[in-house]
Amino acid sequence: MKVLIVDDSVVFRSQIAAALTGTPQIEVVGSAPNGSIALQKLDQLSVDLVTLDMEMPDMDGIAVLKAIRERKHKVRVIIFSAQTIRGAEKALQALKAGADDVISKPSSSEEATDYKSPQERIREILVPKIHQFLEKREKTSLTPERREEKLELFPKTPPLGAFEKLPLTGFQPSAVVIASSTGGPTALETIFTQIPQSLEIPIIIAQHMPPVFTQILAKRLGDLSKKPCNEAKHGDILKPGHIYVAPGDYHLQVAHSSGEVVLELNQGPQRNSVRPAADYLFESAAAVFRNRLLGIVLTGMGQDGLQGSIAIKQAGGRILIQDEPSCVVFGMPGAVFKANCYDGMGDLQMISGVLQKLSENLH
C-alpha cells in the first residue's frame, strides 16, 4: 500500500512516516503540509491510501476529503482527529463524506500513562488498519474460486459443531446487540435512519471507537432514530426502546441485579486487541436473554463478535451478519460466516428490513 501523509504539523508527519517505515507491504510515497499540496501530489503520484489531518489552515480535512472523492481518486482515507468534542464531530462528518476509518491523535497524557512513544502508538493502531485494506484489495482481485480459498485464512476456531440456521420470521427477541468496527459508524447511521419507532426493545452497541467519539456517535444515532440514545453508564437499567452505546475504552456487559437487567462497565484487559469488545457484550447478553436475543455483526476488521455469536447461538438466539459486498471490511462478519454461525446475511437495507419485521412481530 502506497501511503501519502497529509498533516500541517511537521512533527506529526515525521512520526507517522517513522511509524510506517520498514513495515512490510507499506511504502510512504510522500507527504504534504496542507490540502492543496496533497491534491497536487495525488495527481502526480501513485497512491493507495491517504492519512489525513482534520485541522489544517488552508483546507480542513473535510474539504480535502470531498475534493478527493469529487476527483474520483481511488484511494482509501484514514482520518487523524483530535480526541475532543469538536474533533469527534468532524470525524463523524468525515466518515459520512467518504473516509474509510478514523484514528484519534496520540496525546502527551497517553504517553505518560502507557510509556509508549507517539511513534509506537501510531504504529500499533495504524498499521493493522492499513493492512486490512490491503487484504480486501487482494481478495477482491481474486477469482470467485480463489476468494473461497481466501476464507480459509481466517483465524482457526475450536470445533463448533453444526449450528442450525433458525428462522428470523416471527422471531420475538427481548433485546438486540450490535458489533461494529471499521465502517461501522456509517453503517449504523444507515440502519438507525430507518429503524421503526414501534421497535420497543433495547438495543446495545459495541462500536470500536475512542472515548469522546462514542459519545458523539450516540448523540448522532439518537438524532437519526428519534429514540433515546446515550453512552451506557455503569448501573443503567435497560429500558424498552432505548439505545445504548458502549463508551470508548470500556467493556460493556449485561447482568441481572435486584430483579432488573442492568449494564456494567469495566476496564479489564483488551480482548481481540480492543476495548470495548463485542464478545463480552454478546456473551453476557446471551446469558441474560437466552433464546430471546438477536445479535448483529457489522463491518469491521478482526474477529471480535465471533465468540459472542457462538454464545448467542448456543443459547438459542439468532445472529444476523452484514454481507461482504456492503462491508468496508468483511473481517468480523467474515469470521462468523466462516464458522457458519449465523441465521441470516445481507446488506444494510436487508438488516433494516429485519428490524422492521421485528417491530411487527412484537405488536
* Catalytic residue annotation: 181, 208, 304
* Cβ count within 10 A of residue 160: 13
Beta bridge partners of 178: 205, 296
SS3 102: strand
Burial class (CB in 10 A: 0-12, 13-18, 19+), 69: middle
Q: What is the grid cell recorded at 59?
A: 483546507
Instruction: Report d(CA 136, CA 129) in Å as an integer.
Output: 11
Burial class (CB in 10 A: 0-12, 13-18, 19+), 135: middle
Place of cell 470467485: 144
CB 28 within 8 A of CB 20: yes
Beta bridge partners of 53: 80
Residue 316's contacts (CB-CB under 8 Å, 6 or more residues apart) are 166, 290, 291
